[in-house]
């Protein structure tokens, strides 16, 4: 074994012990990652109004608990987009996951180990074939990028790899970043970029050591291999963004066309309006995600938990309604379910787990959320997540937002 490999194996931070909260995972991620890498995990747009409201809005909702008659066991299983999952939390698609050498493959293994599904970003750093090889419940996420045939070709590649559904993201706008400044992410990790990042990496040695394998230093891959045909060299992350920015946004007719050609489970991600939710039903979507891209959208958009209830009331019988944005605890999940969500998708929470301790860190986050869901059900006297309703919540007047008619 080389000296580099020996140092990497002896890295005391590689197998951190269990952390007790998602916020502890965030603290450890901040401690381990170079500043610019960590900044990319917490960034929002402009003043961060939506980013903050996504999290803080949950604090405004209370519970109406039962203290007698609690059941000894509770049922957490559900079915989303044709897939059975062990509890109502899924992995939301996020772009290049260079916080850990195994990236999306580690996340996929963690989701499989906990019996849940994963959304895989088309901007992922790992090929879809590697991700589906370790988890048979993968939904491939697509941006409207390039012409129709290019988009369909990427979807068909994902289908051939075993993807069980398609997620089309509509809730993202290109923006210059937050008032405190956007994270400095290089277009590609070359010698120039490494030299610039060297001072950051020098004070975060645990991050550098994790990239040493078999005596060699691996370089984080900031390309997007799922935007091209299998085996081809993908564009850089920012090259892909450039292509996206030069593609006209999709129309509802475009989405209907893609849904018809895909022919299977189909989610429209980014719904916050009632009329958009109804249009998703009209085009034959099988699911929607009430989402504002985790606060990386038009700043000032309401927290997703504020708009969830009216949307679920309007279309919840017609398709699967999911929510993403601001989930930090199992009790947050339960509040979303009580307002009509079939399940939630998490983003930053599992990325912090991945940064804190790789695959085990993602499993840790999923375990925390599962335990939180179970304990919240226990406190509410419920034995099944499907029995949750608004009657279990204390919702302040004026909390919910409804717009779009």
The pLDDT value recorded for residue 46 is 87
How far CA 68 is from CA of 355, 378, 382, in Å, comes to 41, 10, 11
The pLDDT value recorded for residue 405 is 83
Q: In whole angstroms, how large is the CA radius of gyration of the chain?
A: 21
Query: Is residue 121 a contact partner of residue 128, using CB atoms and an 8 Å limit?
Result: no
Residue with tokens 């390309």: 223
Q: How far apart are CA 123 and CA 36, in angstroms?
A: 19
pLDDT tens-digit map of 109-151 = 999 999 999 999 999 999 999 999 999 999 999 999 999 999 9
In a domain, 84, yes or no: yes
In a domain, 216, yes or no: no
Q: How far apart are CA 320 and CA 24, in angstroms?
A: 32
Query: Is residue 121 a contact partner of residue 93, using CB atoms and an 8 Å limit?
Result: yes
Active site residues: 293
The two structure tokens encoding residue 252 = 């509802």
In a domain, 198, yes or no: no
Residue with tokens 């927290």: 303
| Closest to 351 measured CA to CA, from 174, 85, 118, 78 | 118
**Under 8 Å CB-to-CB from 314, ≥6 apart: which residues?**
274, 277, 278
| Closest to 213 measured CA to CA, from 99, 100, 125, 95 | 100
pTM of the model: 0.91
DSSP tag of 209: H
**Under 8 Å CB-to-CB from 21, ≥6 apart: which residues?**
329, 368
By the 10 Å C-beta count (0-12 exposed, 13-18 middle, 19+ buried), 388 is classed as buried
In a domain, 273, yes or no: yes
The pLDDT value recorded for residue 203 is 63
The CB density around residue 382, as the number of other CB atoms within 10 Å, is 22
**Total domains present in the chain:** 1
In a domain, 402, yes or no: no
Below-70 pLDDT ranges, the chain? 1-16, 173-178, 180-203, 205, 208-209, 211-219
In a domain, 208, yes or no: no
The CB density around residue 192, as the number of other CB atoms within 10 Å, is 10
The Cβ-side half-sphere exposure at 112, using a 13 Å CA radius, reads 16
Query: Is residue 120 a contact partner of residue 95, using CB atoms and an 8 Å limit?
Result: no
In a domain, 401, yes or no: no
Residue with tokens 């951190």: 16
In a domain, 399, yes or no: no
Query: Is residue 385 a contact partner of residue 76, using CB atoms and an 8 Å limit?
Result: yes
Query: Is residue 304 a contact partner of residue 349, using CB atoms and an 8 Å limit?
Result: no
Query: Is residue 25 a contact partner of residue 365, using CB atoms and an 8 Å limit?
Result: yes
The CATH number for 12's domain is 3.20.20.70
How far CA 172 is from CA of 42, 274, 390, in Å, comes to 16, 18, 30
The CB density around residue 230, as the number of other CB atoms within 10 Å, is 12
The pLDDT value recorded for residue 237 is 76
DSSP tag of 216: E
Q: In degrees rounded to 5, what are phi and psi of residue 400? A: -80, 150
Q: How far apart are CA 143 and CA 243, in angstroms?
A: 11
The pLDDT value recorded for residue 187 is 58
The residue range of the domain holding 36 is: 3-183+221-394
How far CA 208 is from CA of 21, 215, 237, in Å, comes to 25, 13, 21
| Closest to 23 measured CA to CA, from 1, 55, 47, 50 | 55
């Amino acid at each position: 074994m080389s000296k580099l490999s020996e140092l990497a194996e002896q890295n005391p931070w590689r197998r951190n012990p269990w952390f007790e909260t998602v916020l502890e995972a965030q603290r450890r991620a901040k401690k381990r990652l170079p500043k610019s890498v960590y900044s990319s995990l917490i960034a929002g747009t402009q003043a961060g109004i939506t980013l903050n409201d996504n999290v803080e809005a949950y604090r405004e909702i209370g519970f109406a608990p039962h203290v007698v008659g609690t059941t000894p066991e509770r049922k957490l299983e559900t079915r989303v987009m044709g897939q059975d999952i062990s509890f109502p939390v899924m992995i939301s698609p996020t772009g290049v996951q260079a916080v850990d050498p195994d990236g999306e493959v580690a996340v996929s293994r963690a989701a499989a180990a906990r019996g849940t599904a994963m959304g895989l970003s088309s901007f992922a750093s790992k090929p879809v074939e590697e991700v589906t090889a370790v988890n048979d419940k993968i939904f491939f996420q697509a941006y409207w990028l390039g012409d129709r045939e290019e988009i369909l070709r990427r979807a068909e590649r994902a289908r051939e790899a075993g993807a069980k559904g398609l997620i089309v993201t509509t809730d993202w706008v290109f923006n210059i970043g937050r008032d405190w400044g956007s994270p400095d992410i290089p277009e590609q990790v070359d010698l120039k970029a490494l030299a610039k990042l060297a001072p950051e990496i020098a004070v975060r040695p645990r991050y550098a050591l994790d990239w040493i394998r078999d005596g060699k230093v691996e370089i984080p891959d900031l390309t997007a291999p799922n935007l091209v045909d299998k085996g081809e060299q993908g564009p850089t992350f920012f090259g892909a963004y450039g292509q996206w920015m030069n593609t006209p946004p999709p129309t509802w007719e475009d989405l209907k066309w893609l849904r018809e050609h895909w022919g299977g489970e189909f989610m429209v991600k980014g719904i916050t309006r009632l009329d958009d939710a109804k249009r998703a039903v009209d085009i034959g979507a099988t699911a929607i995600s009430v989402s504002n891209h985790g606060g990386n959208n038009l700043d000032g958009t309401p927290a997703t938990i504020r708009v969830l209830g009216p949307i679920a009331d309007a279309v919840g019988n017609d398709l699967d309604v999911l929510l993403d944005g601001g989930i930090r605890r199992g009790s947050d999940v339960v509040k979303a379910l009580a307002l009509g969500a079939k399940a939630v998708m998490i983003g930053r929470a599992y990325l912090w787990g991945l940064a804190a301790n790789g695959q085990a860190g993602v499993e840790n986050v999923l375990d925390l959320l599962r335990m939180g869901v179970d304990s919240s059900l226990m406190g509410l006297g419920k034995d099944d997540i499907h029995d949750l309703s608004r009657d279990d919540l204390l919702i302040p007047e004026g909390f919910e937002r409804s717009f779009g008619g």
